[in-house]
Amino acid sequence: MEFRIADTFTDSLAKLTGDEQKSVKTAAFDLQLNPAHPSLQLHKLDRAKDPRFWSIRVSADIRLIVHRSDASLLLCFVDHHDRAYHWAERRKLETHPKTGAAQLVEIRETVLEIAVPRYIDAPVARPPLFARFSDDDLLGFGVPGEWLADVRVANEDSLLTLAVHLPAEAAEALLDVATGASPKPKPRAPAVANPFEHPDALRRFRVMSNVEELARALDYPWDKWTLFLHPSQRQLVERDFAGPAKVAGTAGTGKTIVALHRAAFLARKNPEARVLLTTFAESLSSLLDTKIRRLISNEPRLGDRIEIHSMEAIGQRLHTAHFGKAKLATRESIVAALRSAVAAVGGSQFTEAFLLSEWEQIVDAWQVESWEAYRDVSRLGRKTRLSESHRATLWAIFAKVREALASSGAMTPAAMFTRLAIHFTATGKRPFDFAVIDEAQDISVAQLRFLAALTAQQSNGLFFAGDLGQRIFQLPFSWKAVGVDIRGRSTTLKINYRTSHQIRMQADRLLGTEVSDVDGNTEERTGTISMFNGPKPEIVVCSDEAAEIAAVAGWLRGRSADGFTPEEIGVFVRSEAELPRATRAVEAAGLVPKVLDGRVDTVSGRVSVSTMHFAKGLEFRSVVVMACDDEVIPLQQRIESVSDDGELDEVYHTERHLLYVACTRARDHLLVTAVEPASEFLDDLGR
């Protein structure tokens, strides 16, 4: 007998208390080991429309709903007695007549009315979206037969509410059509003998082969398993690319999941190969390590050939192996060297801020080594025009900085990565066959050059995952100039599983409808669809900090009353200066804050508090973005330090990106607060 678990079961399990979950897990293990165990007290549900639904008594009031047949046993749902029975009475398990996929279908007759929440006042009734499609077309989307009539009359106002009643593949296809992304029914997947093995069914049902696999499944919510892929994501994971490739998409569309699966797939397909899985920050690499170990836990030998490091960590490790430990120059030492060079050269009319940014963005980033190279270099994004005489003066200063670094035996991270790139290109001996890079929008020029040399850009050698709209650390630059060309091999994901429709729509207002890189590759931000509804985000502007703290505390108490646990809540601010406001608000709500330092994600029993820069990679059911005051975001200190008009544009772009990143950490609830005068960005956000 096959023992399966459904996504509806793990979702419902996560809503129980800790003690209740322990009892459910014990019952699930007993059921897997011996389905006829007398302690389980199986009871057939006479009122269920599907006669194969049974209940299992977990405790006095907790019931586990299973679907039982001669060939299989499926864990479907768990809750308190009445709610568990009510769920089963509204569902049936069936094989879709056209797609052949197994589906848990909500029975239409039990849904007396579909309430349509109106978040936007519509002056006239919206026309039906799917009237032009035949029943056969709609069945081709995976729509259950009894929901055809509702789908046919659905309009823009009712579609999202209707979608939550449909199987995921049907909801996605309809939302695709509604946004104009895919006006035709999707092609039918290859026929399979077992409806549970259909690609759509594999997203919601999984066979549990042993107790260890079941234990792992019950320890994490369904969306944390990192095991399940949308069919379009699987195509990217398993596709052969003739050169560097990239998967893009807005926050919450599953880019990291694709990257993780890609790393595992490459290691699995190439038994002798070594795979590097990397990202720009140490905190994010730790999260990747946790997720990849979870993903390949039943294939432990793959872990021997997949290495997970931050970019700087792998750079230092390889430099130590080939040249000895690198002595990396600090920013403070660079500033000191610049001041000494200016004094020695004399006659400089440039500000220290301009000199430092010119060094970091041009000379060091591109590893300019000679006067001729600096004279001719393209100063992309730098709007301050320089005559040849000005460049000559600047180069005299930068040459002395390079000499000072060399005499001290120090090097910049860019120099370290460039040295490694030259070494691997010259020797042809490379420690990795493939590299998968998450959050690729924030890797630097020298890091990209290093990655290109690391894999020699062989077929499938480089795979990037990133979102230009979340670039918060690096200036834009031409990947083609470094020799990495992704044209024709870039795909944008469009289905958002993490963030509600309302939060996503509001956060998207911070950015344009499309974002382009320097090479002209465009990431369309329109057409993205969220798979669930939620409350509209709240934006509150207060008279002073005390009023803001009180407002946030009241909101947090409301979320706690709704049943949200502290670890399901995150509070973000622009910089460390605003952290005390956030911690005071959490404490005023009667909760315990934990200030994150980038090395951990969430802490049990505590509310996570962090700067926006540490928000990457995190997600919470409820999020507060505090202290969005004027001169806080965009940060006045950054604006005042700008030495070039191009830099000023970049400051505004990255500050918007920071706010976008913070807002999109929220799944269900979002509160954005400020003290008057508020940031100009709140008007764009929809204040």
Read off the pLDDT of each residue in 595-608 and give the average, rounded to a whole number. Answer: 74
Asked if the model's pLDDT at residue 191 lies above 70, the reply is no
Q: How many CB atoms lie within 10 A of CB 533?
A: 16
Q: What is the pLDDT of residue 607?
A: 95
Q: What is the pLDDT of residue 226?
A: 53
Considering the chain, what percentage of its residues have pLDDT values greater than 90? 51
Lowest-pLDDT range of 8-22, 396-410, 671-685: 8-22
Asked if the model's pLDDT at residue 341 lies above 50, the reply is yes
Asked if the model's pLDDT at residue 221 lies above 70, the reply is no
Rounded-to-integer distance, Cα 318 and Cα 336, Å: 29
- Which is nearest to 289 in space by CA: 315, 253, 313, 320? 313
User: Is the omega angle on the peptide bond into residue 677 within 30 degrees of 0, that is, cis?
Assistant: yes
Counting Cα atoms < 13 Å in the Cβ hemisphere of 97 gives 9
Q: What is the pLDDT of residue 601?
A: 54
DSSP state letter for 644: S
Asked if the model's pLDDT at residue 231 lies above 90, the reply is no
Cβ–Cβ < 8 Å for 397, 355? yes
Q: What is the pLDDT of residue 52?
A: 94
Identify residue 437 by its one-letter amino acid code: I
Q: What is the pLDDT of residue 123?
A: 45
Q: How many CB atoms lie within 10 A of CB 310?
A: 18
Binned at pLDDT 50, 70 and 90, residue 185 comes out as: low
Read off the pLDDT of each residue in 226-241 and give the average, rounded to a whole number. Answer: 80
* Residues in contact with 509: Cβ distance below 8 Å, sequence separation at least 6, in sequence order: 684, 685, 686
Read off the pLDDT of each residue in 49-58 and give the average, rounded to a whole number. Answer: 92
Write the pLDDT tens digit of every residue in 199-208. Answer: 888 888 888 8
Bridge partners of 5, per DSSP, are 75, 206
Lowest-pLDDT range of 368-372, 382-386, 550-554, 647-651: 382-386
Helix (H, G, I), strand (E, B) or coil at 595: strand
Asked if the model's pLDDT at residue 297 lies above 70, the reply is yes
Binned at pLDDT 50, 70 and 90, residue 343 comes out as: very high
- Which is nearest to 336 in space by CA: 407, 392, 401? 401
**Most confidently modeled range among 223-227, 392-396, 604-608:** 392-396
Identify residue 152 by its one-letter amino acid code: R
Binned at pLDDT 50, 70 and 90, residue 106 comes out as: very high
* Residues in contact with 324: Cβ distance below 8 Å, sequence separation at least 6, in sequence order: none
Q: What are phi and psi of 329, to 5 degrees?
A: -70, 140
For 73, 167, 414, the CA distances from 195, given in Å and listed in that order, are 14, 14, 53
Rounded-to-integer distance, Cα 502 and Cα 535, Å: 7
How, if at all, do strands 91-95 and 514-516 pair? unpaired
Write the pLDDT tens digit of every residue in 359-395. Answer: 998 999 999 999 999 988 877 666 667 888 888 999 9
Q: Which helix (H) or strand (E) holds 560?
A: helix 545-561
Q: How many CB atoms lie within 10 A of CB 530?
A: 23
Helix (H, G, I), strand (E, B) or coil at 78: strand
- Looking up tokens 């639904």, which residue turns up? 53
Q: What is the pLDDT of residue 117?
A: 43
Between 1 and 405, the more confident residue is 405
Please give the distance of CA 636 from its chain centroid, rounded to a whole number. Answer: 29
Considering the chain, what percentage of its residues have pLDDT values greater than 70? 92
Q: What is the pLDDT of residue 294?
A: 79
Read off the pLDDT of each residue in 210-227 and give the average, rounded to a whole number. Answer: 67
Q: What is the CA radius of gyration of the chain?
A: 28
Read off the pLDDT of each residue in 593-621 and give the average, rounded to a whole number. Answer: 83
Rounded-to-integer distance, Cα 655 and Cα 89, Å: 50
Between 414 and 534, the more confident residue is 414
Binned at pLDDT 50, 70 and 90, residue 197 comes out as: confident
Helix (H, G, I), strand (E, B) or coil at 571: strand
Asked if the model's pLDDT at residue 224 lies above 70, the reply is no
Query: Residue 183 burial by CB count (10 A; 0-12/13-18/19+): exposed, middle or buried?
Result: exposed
Residue 170 Rama label (left phi>0; alpha psi -120 to 50; beta): alpha
Q: What is the pLDDT of residue 381?
A: 61
Q: How many CB atoms lie within 10 A of CB 668?
A: 20
pTM of the entire structure?
Answer: 0.80
Read off the pLDDT of each residue in 449-475 and give the average, rounded to a whole number. Answer: 88
Rounded-to-integer distance, Cα 36 and Cα 73, Å: 12
Binned at pLDDT 50, 70 and 90, residue 122 comes out as: very low
DSSP state letter for 353: H
**Most confidently modeled range among 154-168, 183-197, 213-227, 336-350:** 336-350
Identify residue 683 by its one-letter amino acid code: D
**Most confidently modeled range among 60-69, 169-178, 232-241, 514-523:** 60-69
Rounded-to-integer distance, Cα 505 and Cα 507, Å: 6
Read off the pLDDT of each residue in 628-657 and give the average, rounded to a whole number. Answer: 85
Asked if the model's pLDDT at residue 110 lies above 60, the reply is no
Rounded-to-integer distance, Cα 64 and Cα 94, Å: 20
Q: What is the pLDDT of residue 120?
A: 39
For 59, 438, 513, 516, the CA distances from 522, given in Å and listed in that order, are 55, 18, 10, 4
Identify residue 53 by its one-letter amino acid code: F
- Looking up tokens 């047949």, which residue turns up? 69
Q: What is the pLDDT of residue 628?
A: 97
String of b and e for 632-661 (b: at least 16 CB within 10 Å)? bbbbeebeeebbbebbeebbbbbbbbbbbb
Q: Which helix (H) or strand (E) holds 395?
A: helix 388-408
Cβ–Cβ < 8 Å for 471, 657? yes
Write the pLDDT tens digit of every residue in 656-681. Answer: 999 999 999 999 999 999 999 999 99
Cβ–Cβ < 8 Å for 339, 352? yes
Q: What mean pLDDT value characterizes the chain?
A: 87
Binned at pLDDT 50, 70 and 90, residue 212 comes out as: confident
